[in-house]
Structure 1
Amino acid sequence: MLNWAELRTERLWLDRPRIDDLAQLHAVHADPRTNMHNPAGPTTDMVRSRTMVEEWLTHWDQNGFGYWVVREDPPGEVIGAGGLRRHDVDGVSSLNLYYRFAVAAWGRGYAAELATKAVELAARDLPGVPVVAIVHPDNIASWKVAVRAGLRPAGHTQHHGGTRLLLSTPAHQKAFGFDTASTVNEVLPSSRTP
């Protein structure tokens, strides 16, 4: 089984969550600014946040990887969460790439640093499984992070009641029926090209 429980990037500590992280994770997920493009909206209920963290921990127990809590190096306050989690997308068993950071951490390239590390680990340890990002069409920042991490357009998918942009590791685009000859502009309107 994989064990990605304690990893470091150039500037970040990526660790398996603990229940002790609940209050700080809740603060990130309850902020309306970090949820502008989240169809479920902010997680304002601490019970819901606890359930979320418990689900993350169950995934860790079953797979040896999952969503990390993110701290700046050296370890300190939780500034975000993200990583990979198993997810079925349009009938394809995939790894969902997720990242959400506190507003104070925006604009520093942390999401791209985390996402790149996650995609690299998946390529090394789970090469046959597509990594995907499901992005709200208005969330250009998230689109750019996924592209910087190496994902490419793979079409659209229905997610939480709406049409979302789907990005995937290049080797897996055809699994989603995406013609790699298609251009980014066919997926994302030209006014929004990253």
Structure 2
Amino acid sequence: MGHASENTTFVSLRIAILTVSDTRGLEQDGSGDLLRLSVTKAGHELVVRSIVPDDIYRLRATVSQWVAQPDIQVILVNGGTGFTVRDTTPEALMPLFDRVIDGYGELFRHLSYESIGASTIQSRAVAGVANRTLIFSMPGSPKACATAWDGILAGQLDARTRPCNFVAMVIPDHDSCESRQVHQEQLVGDVANQEASP
């Protein structure tokens, strides 16, 4: 598990929340409420929050529009990650990804195993990067959203988390990976030593 660096300043990210549901409105959206509170409590800015039905094309269209907006750096999608006919969130999102964050789904299922056991294999939580925008999906229950936020996202969206976090993915000049910094310093030192040697 990562730890916080006292020498790094917190960076507020601009986040969008999308709930995928055929039955919920904003008044019944407990998962969206949980994510909204988590995002703002952590110090990030909520740019937009919306609900779309379980429709692969409407979901993809909304996320595509948000990915093209420069004021959105992170998109949190809850719902539609199961195995029913209407669960199409992974199919909607995967074609948009420039890079897949494989470890997110793996870690989410590992964490949820502690509470729901082997049923976690039915969660198809996926994540990726599209146009320098981070996209994380998770199941639609408040408990699953809490698992994703508390266990993964709160730390990975915090520039102070070491050895690495995802802030550099959305803020190009922000190097937030300690191990990468150490490696670069070693390379610079090696080059300097080679140039100094006869």
TM-score when scaled to structure 1? Answer: 0.32
Task: Determine which structure has greater relative contact order: mean sequence separation of CA pairs < 8 Å that are 6+ residues apart, divided by chain length.
Answer: 2
TM-score when scaled to structure 2? Answer: 0.32
Higher helix content, 1 or 2: 2
